[in-house]
Amino acid sequence: MLLGFEGGYGIALKLKQYFILLQCLEAAG
């Protein structure tokens, strides 16, 4: 259970970073 939670948390962090990157690109573009 803990491993699955860590895996989902890692994916959530990657998605969050991805959306932040998109927002930065839109602001710069």
Of residues 3 and 5, which shows the higher confidence score?
5
Of residues 15 and 8, which shows the higher confidence score?
15
Whole-model pTM: value is 0.58
**CA 25 – CA 29 distance, rounded (Å):** 6
Of 19, 21, 8, the closest CA to residue 29 belongs to: 21
- Digit-coded pLDDT (tens) for 11-20: 999 999 999 9
Element (H, E) at 3: helix 2-28
